[in-house]
Amino acid sequence: MQAQLIALDWGTSSLRAYKLGPAGKVLEQRALSFGIMHLPSESREIAGVRCSDGFELAFDAACGDWLDAVPDLPVIACGMVGSAQGWSEAAYRNTPVDVASLGQALHTVRSLRGVDLHIVPGVIEQVGLPNVMRGEETQVLGVLQGLAAHVLIGLPGSHSKWVEVADGCITHFDTFMTGELFAVLSKHSILGRTQQPCEHFQAEAFDRGVNVALSKDGQRGVLSTLFSARTLGLTAELAADQQPDYLSGLLIGHELAGLPEHAKHKPIVLVGNAPLCARYQRALALCGFAHVSLAQAASERGLWQLAVAAGLTQPVLEA
Amino acid sequence: MQAQLIALDWGTSSLRAYKLGPAGKVLEQRALSFGIMHLPSESREIAGVRCSDGFELAFDAACGDWLDAVPDLPVIACGMVGSAQGWSEAAYRNTPVDVASLGQALHTVRSLRGVDLHIVPGVIEQVGLPNVMRGEETQVLGVLQGLAAHVLIGLPGSHSKWVEVADGCITHFDTFMTGELFAVLSKHSILGRTQQPCEHFQAEAFDRGVNVALSKDGQRGVLSTLFSARTLGLTAELAADQQPDYLSGLLIGHELAGLPEHAKHKPIVLVGNAPLCARYQRALALCGFAHVSLAQAASERGLWQLAVAAGLTQPVLEA
């Protein structure tokens, strides 16, 4: 089957490359560790020139052989590669955005071998506190097919995103620093000192954390409930190996308590790392969110649609 | 003037020693760096015995010469010295507590030189989520003289305490991990990467942080507003050297938003580090708390009163 597009999901810590055929079918894919904070440093010859630029080297490692075989393949990328710390900055686009408007706003950087890399801009919302994302917008656009017209998409992670979509259009989103807070508290605060890791998921401790966040005590906010991860240990109500999952449930519970009330009546779709999505699904049920489903992350599908909207490739149907 | 009591305020990172005379008058005081996590390690002779115990060594450094001069001086201590990681564990006392009940519950450990150290127990509250303090109860009891019968005492710090007092009795308290969260986020999270320290207090940025916590956005909780410390930088609304004070105001604002509504009508007294209390005083005004005053931290006064209640010394009036 003939290759039509190279799609790169290029984040902070990893780089995924897809060779896509007609209708966006994945013909080949590879995962590299060359996120923009972990670029290769060993110089090499590219297109006859000695090169030591990390972005060029990573780009060549990701898809140089595909381009050698078909030099005119279009290439599209999303994620932190378009940030100020990336290869070339693709200015944010304001909400609302959809496939058509983002696809027409791709930012181009020319690689050493003469091939253009088309970078998807991140999205900014400036109503109230500013909010930004880079890469998640492409994941969201990639999962919309077959979903209800109005849906809330949750992307749990270091910086969890909650994205409201109406008729294929990203209208609003929020960011919660839940994952990063869990990590820094576990590694660097007094709470980590009494924690012990546990091989198995401690469901009871996790649920307890969620329920504390939802309780009257929880209304004082996470700055107040956090200390309970220590005091419940002091009072022998929480074993050392239950404390990590208690803290996880507590933080996720506070995140979900911060979702707007109308979210309770909307279909919710979780996208991302499966074990983390399972935690969120469990917590959402405890919080009374009724319509929750999971979707496979699919940046490559979003990238395909954006490339079609940009005219980089044709939405050819399979024969 | 004759010494009557040695009082030690012995915390995690420091040890303050007071030689008190009649009516608790401070005759001499010294500050040592020998908190329970920073004990001396070089062995030395104490009372004719070679000793390498860190608590004994710190105790001797703090008041050995005072005891050499007056061997039967009673000694009282408060703080983390009575924790499980301390010299000897003084079991928590449940709220409500006052000077009389705490004074009758001192825990004793005998030092190498034969002198007893009387340790003030920490206080635990087990209504709802458990809460504990060690040392703050003594600070609170030490500042009550001259205050209204019903008062809310705030002790800002790594783990801020808010202590409700009625008729000399500690009836309830909460803990907010505000200071520690500020420290770990600044040092170890993505927020720290764009922060630059600033010599001068950035009042405007601080106030903005407080106001965001109080705003509609703030109602989603601190997990959500935290990211604004980054995005306001990305949108050039906050300079790098304003970001630390913005984050400080944001966290303190969320802490104060978690105080009970009835606190707005109570006299509030702040105790502790002066620059930090000034931040809280500023934020309290923005939050609409009307009756706020400052009090000098005075563990030694609390320790004196507890020693009197315990019968370790006499409440002799000055001639």
Same domain as A164, residue A203: no
DSSP designation for A97: B
Asked whether the beta carbons of residue A225 and residue B129 sit closer than 8 angstroms, the reply is: yes
- In whole angstroms, give the CA distance from residue A182 to residue A123: 25
Query: Is it the case that residue A122 has pLDDT exceeding 70?
Result: yes
Higher pLDDT: B260 or A276? It is A276
Q: Residue window 197-216, chain B: list those with CB within 8 Å of chain A.
A: 212, 216
Query: Is it the case that residue B201 has pLDDT exceeding 60?
Result: yes
Same domain as A37, residue A56: yes
Among residues B235, B231, B213, the alpha carbon closest in space to that of A161 is found at B231
Average pLDDT, integer, range A264-273: 93
Chain B CB within 8 Å of residue A235 CB? yes
Angle at B258 between CA B255 and CA B264, to 5 degrees: 105
* Closest CA in chain A for residue B224: A176
Q: Tell me the chain B residues in contact with residue A232 when contact means C-beta distances shorter than 8 Å.
A: 129-130
The parent domain of residue A29 ranges over 5-174+298-309
Task: Count how many domains chain B has.
Answer: 2
Q: What size, in residues, is chain B?
A: 319
Q: Tell me the chain A residues in contact with residue B187 when contact means C-beta distances shorter than 8 Å.
A: 188
| AA identity, residue A303 | L
Q: What size, in residues, is chain A?
A: 319
Tell me whether residue B163 is in a domain.
no
Location of structure tokens 């760096």: B33
What are residue B51's DSSP bridge partners? Answer: B44
Q: What is the pLDDT of residue A302?
A: 97
Tell me whether residue A318 is in a domain.
no
Query: Is it the case that residue A115 has pLDDT exceeding 90?
Result: yes
Q: What is the pLDDT of residue A206?
A: 98
φ, ψ at B19 (rounded to 5°):
-100, 115
Average pLDDT, integer, range B19-43: 95
DSSP designation for A235: T
Chain A CB within 8 Å of residue B130 CB? yes
Same domain as A37, residue A155: yes
Same domain as A283, residue A138: no
Same domain as A83, residue A168: yes
Same domain as A255, residue A117: no
Q: What is the pLDDT of residue B21?
A: 95
Q: Tell me the chain B residues in contact with residue A259 when contact means C-beta distances shorter than 8 Å.
A: 220
Q: How many CB atoms lie within 10 A of CB B47?
A: 15
- In whole angstroms, give the CA distance from residue A236 to residue B130: 11
Tell me whether residue B262 is in a domain.
yes
Least confident of A141-145, A244-248, A294-298, B117-121: A294-298
Same domain as A47, residue A69: yes
The structure tokens listed for B86 are 């301390």
Asked whether the beta carbons of residue A185 and residue B190 sit closer than 8 angstroms, the reply is: no
Same domain as B53, residue B185: no
* Closest CA in chain A for residue B174: A224
DSSP designation for A115: P
Tell me whether residue A319 is in a domain.
no
Q: What is the pLDDT of residue B298?
A: 84
DSSP designation for B97: B
The helix-helix angle for A274-286 and A203-214 (nearest 10°) equals: 50
Same domain as A38, residue A168: yes
Tell me whether residue B313 is in a domain.
no
Q: Which of A164, A214, A223 to mutate to test the interface with B (most CBs of B within 10 A)?
A: A223
Q: What is the pLDDT of residue B104?
A: 97
Asked whether the beta carbons of residue A251 and residue B223 sit closer than 8 angstroms, the reply is: yes
b/e per residue, B84-94, with b = 16+ CB within 10 A?
A: eebbebbebbe
What stretch of H or E contains B250? helix B243-257
pLDDT digits (tens, 9 = 90+) for B143-193: 998 898 999 999 999 999 999 999 999 999 999 999 999 999 999 999 998
pLDDT digits (tens, 9 = 90+) for B4-30: 999 999 999 899 999 999 999 999 999
Q: Tell me the chain B residues in contact with residue A219 when contact means C-beta distances shorter than 8 Å.
A: 258
Tell me whether residue B40 is in a domain.
yes
Same domain as B183, residue B111: no
Q: How many CB atoms lie within 10 A of CB A45?
A: 9
- In whole angstroms, give the CA distance from residue B136 to residue B156: 11
- In whole angstroms, give the CA distance from residue A91 to residue A114: 23
Asked whether the beta carbons of residue B223 and residue A159 sit closer than 8 angstroms, the reply is: no
Cis previous bond, A315, omega within 30: no
What are residue B202's DSSP bridge partners? Answer: none
Higher pLDDT: B317 or B147? It is B147
Q: Tell me the chain A residues in contact with residue B257 when contact means C-beta distances shorter than 8 Å.
A: 221
The structure tokens listed for B149 are 């019968």
Query: Is it the case that residue B319 has pLDDT exceeding 50?
Result: no
Q: How many CB atoms lie within 10 A of CB B136?
A: 28
Chain A CB within 8 Å of residue B128 CB? yes
HSE (side-chain half, CA atoms, 13 Å) at B193: 7
Q: Where are the alpha helices (DSSP H) in chain A?
A: 54-69, 99-103, 136-143, 178-188, 190-194, 203-214, 222-225, 228-234, 243-257, 274-286, 299-309
Same domain as A305, residue A229: no
Q: What is the pLDDT of residue B317?
A: 56
Asked whether the beta carbons of residue B174 and residue A224 sit closer than 8 angstroms, the reply is: yes
Higher pLDDT: B290 or B182? It is B182
pLDDT band at residue B267, thresholds of 50, 70 and 90? very high
Choose the final residue of a domain: B130, B146, B162: B146
The structure tokens listed for A243 are 């404390």
CATH number, domain with residue B114: 3.30.420.300
Asked if A18 and A303 touch (Cβ cutoff 8 Å), the reply is yes
- In chain B, % of residues over pLDDT 70: 99
Provide the shortest C-alpha distance from residue B258 to chain A (in Å): 4
Q: Based on C-alpha coordinates, what's the Rg of chain B?
A: 22
| Mean pLDDT of chain A, nearest integer | 95
Asked whether the beta carbons of residue A228 and residue B185 sit closer than 8 angstroms, the reply is: no
* Closest CA in chain B for residue A260: B220
Q: What is the pLDDT of residue B203?
A: 97
**What number of C-beta contacts closer than 8 Å exist between A and B?**
124
> A318: which residues sit within 8 A by CB, 6+ positions away?
A22, A23, A25
Q: What is the ipTM of this complex?
A: 0.92
Average pLDDT, integer, range A14-43: 95
Asked whether the beta carbons of residue A227 and residue B176 sit closer than 8 angstroms, the reply is: yes
> A115: which residues sit within 8 A by CB, 6+ positions away?
A67, A71, A73, A75
- In whole angstroms, give the CA distance from residue A120 to residue A82: 7
Average pLDDT, integer, range A106-116: 97
Comparing CB atoms, the residue among B177, B188, B232 nearest residue A227 is B177
Q: Tell me the chain A residues in contact with residue B184 when contact means C-beta distances shorter than 8 Å.
A: 184-185, 188-189
Tell me whether residue B315 is in a domain.
no
The helix-helix angle for B178-188 and A178-188 (nearest 10°) equals: 100
Query: Is it the case that residue A319 has pLDDT exceeding 60?
Result: no
Dihedral over alpha carbons A102, A103, A104, A109 (to 10 degrees): 100
Average pLDDT, integer, range A310-315: 93
Least confident of B65-69, B201-205, B311-315: B311-315
Same domain as B123, residue B32: yes
Chain B CB within 8 Å of residue A225 CB? yes
pLDDT digits (tens, 9 = 90+) for B220-240: 999 999 999 999 999 999 999
Asked whether the beta carbons of residue A224 and residue B176 sit closer than 8 angstroms, the reply is: yes
Average pLDDT, integer, range B78-93: 96
Asked if A293 and A174 touch (Cβ cutoff 8 Å), the reply is no
Q: What is the pLDDT of residue A318?
A: 46
Asked if B9 and B300 touch (Cβ cutoff 8 Å), the reply is yes
* Closest CA in chain B for residue A177: B223
Average pLDDT, integer, range A154-179: 96
The burial class, CB within 10 Å (0-12 / 13-18 / 19+), for B153 is buried
Higher pLDDT: B265 or A170? It is A170
